[in-house]
Amino acid sequence: MINNIILIAGNELRRFFKSTLAWIILAIIQFLVAIFFYVPLVMYLQPASTASGLTDAVVSTMYGFAAYIILIMSPLLTMRLISEERQLGTIRLLFSSPISITEIVLGKFLGITIFYLLILLMITLMPLSLLFGTQLDLGQIASSLVGLFLLMTSVASIGLFLSSLTSSPAMAAISTFGTILFLLIIKIGGTNSSSEVALVFSYLSIDKHYNNFLSGLFNSVDIFYYIILTVFFIILCIWRLDSERTYG
């Protein structure tokens, strides 16, 4: 089983690196994050700056903006994961192969996750460059890294599932963006509600938990939120493809 998952993940990675769109998205993310790293850094270095610390003022700010950039760009990365297989007709070959649906889904999920790790590594090189001239709160940086990675895996699982519902990559991207937007603004729904309802809406918000990681807070509630969200959409994707394979 592990060998099949790794094989599918490797094939998925090759597709990414052969795709011009993937390289363009990678460049755009890196360029935009670099801007949101450079601007806070310049502001922090101003004599009139009242920022309390470099990690909070620059690094956490960069990771905060990076999360929203990735949320916006992710639908373009995940839209082809399964929808393109259906569009090209190769999904029939996958269904007829002696590979289980679970292995197919986990392999594709592993492939996109490794690609996200590459993005995360490239982003992290910027704040780490500051270590040559100053000290940073490495614990807070590690917390931000864990939070961003969990956010990425959640978005990857959402995009993977929605890509399995259609043969159109464009529709997969639109529906993924809509779902992410819903999870971002859902906290607004509890604004005028009772405290209990507001807490539920706030808990379901995908960025609320990430903000805790940016502050250096390792909270099991936040970790479980992203794990549950990721596992939930992966299971939905497995069920969806398994039913298609069974009933044609």
- pLDDT for the residue numbered 67: 93
Task: Indicate whether 110 belongs to any domain.
Answer: yes
Q: Is residue 149 part of a domain?
A: yes
Could you tell me if residue 52 is inside a domain?
Answer: no
Provide the pLDDT for residue 16. Answer: 86
Residue 51 lies in a domain: no
**Per the domain annotation, does 85 fall within a domain?**
yes
Q: Is residue 122 part of a domain?
A: yes
In a domain, 233, yes or no: yes
pLDDT of residue 248: 59
What pLDDT is attached to residue 189? Answer: 64
> Residue 141: inside a domain, yes or no?
yes
Q: How many domains does the chain have?
A: 1
Q: How far apart are CA 58 and CA 41, in angstroms?
A: 6
Q: Which residues contact 13 (CB under 8 A, 6 or more apart)?
A: 111, 114, 115
Query: What local confidence, expressed as pLDDT, does residue 180 receive?
Result: 93
Q: Which domain holds residue 195?
A: 2-46+58-128+136-247
pLDDT at 52: 65
CA 4 vs CA 108, 140, 231: distances in Å: 11, 37, 20
* Segment 104-124, tens digit of pLDDT: 999 999 999 999 999 999 999
The ranges of the chain with pLDDT < 70 are: 47-52, 189-195, 247-248
Collapsing DSSP to helix, strand or coil, 199 comes out as helix
| pLDDT of 148 | 94
Residue among 138, 154, 127, 168 at smallest CA distance from 232:
154
